[in-house]
Amino acid sequence: MVLIPIFRQRIYPPDYLVGKYKIIKLLGEGRFGICYLVHAHARTYIFKQIKPRIMKKYKDKIIFEQQILSNIDYPLIPKIIDVINTDNIYGYILEYKKGSTLEQRIFGDNHQFKSFEIYTIASKLIKIIKYLHKKNIVHRDIRLPNVIVNQNDVYLIDFGLARPIDNEKYVYCEDFSYLGHLLIHLYYSSFKKTSRKSRPWYNELGLSSEELNFLKKLLGLNDVYKNIFNLEEDFLKLKITQL
């Protein structure tokens, strides 16, 4: 079976076998890896293949993802099921979570997120972050393409940049900043511009003072949250009609 070259990287076609896992389709390609939907034993999984050149150059850093995922057991984070490690293929078999990424919902489906949806997503992500921080892990990449939503279910994926917290290079507040930027993206999905003049988000989104303070603290503009517990406490004070 012939492999399809894309950007000098071999892409496995449907029905190709990677160990016992049959490729269903390509899901996406990033800088470090390629994700496929795969099938084995009447179940569907995700196969995340690390690109050979990345594996060769960043082997020690890549191993972090496997180690971190192996120590995580949380329903809103896909579990690592298996590791593929042959002479020319290295990657993970991950639990498949049904749904669409926030990136797909906004830019593909043109979905405009309502206040209660933003509140639900924020609530679930805060719970995930709290779990990770208790495990001494910082995700460092909480962005639109790495959050999957399926009705009221919210999942955080892609732990390629996740690291153990050392309070020096890898700190808690990295996740807070990412969360703040993500929420602002969700607000803008339903924003209607009424002026040609560009203004900062905190002036044009029409947010309450409580919301502004919360988001600015996430981004480190108004002080900064020291830990996830203080962050969660402030979040729970926000009214669902506001957020």
CATH number of the 100-237 domain = 1.10.510.10
- For residues 202, 206, 208 and 211, what is the CA-based torsion angle, rounded to 10 degrees? -50
Is 15 catalytic? The answer is: no
Residue 56 marked in a binding site: yes
pLDDT score of 2: 36
pTM of this prediction exceeds 0.75: yes
Distant-in-sequence, close-in-space partners of 94: CB < 8 Å, separation ≥ 6: 45, 46, 47, 48, 69, 78, 79, 80, 81, 157
Per-residue pLDDT, 153: 95
Where along the chain do its domains lie?
7-95, 100-237
- Among 141, 166, 175, 223, which one carries the catalytic annotation? 141
Looking at residue 78, the DSSP 8-state letter turns out to be: P
Topology of domain 7-95, CATH: Phosphorylase Kinase; domain 1 (3.30.200)
Of 133, 141, 142, 143, give the one whose Cα is nearest residue 164.
133
pLDDT (average), residues 109-123: 94
Residue 217 pLDDT exceeds 60: yes
Q: Can you tell me the distance from the alpha carbon of 85 to that of 83, in angstroms, rounded to the nearest whole number?
A: 6
- Residue % of the chain over a pLDDT of 70: 93
Q: Give the range among 35-39, 70-74, 139-143, 202-206 with minimum mean pLDDT.
A: 202-206
pLDDT tens for residues 130-146? 999 999 999 999 999 99
Neighbours of 54 (CB within 10 A): 18
- Please determine, for residue 3, whether its predicted confidence score (pLDDT) is greater than 50: no
| Secondary structure letter of residue 197 according to DSSP | S
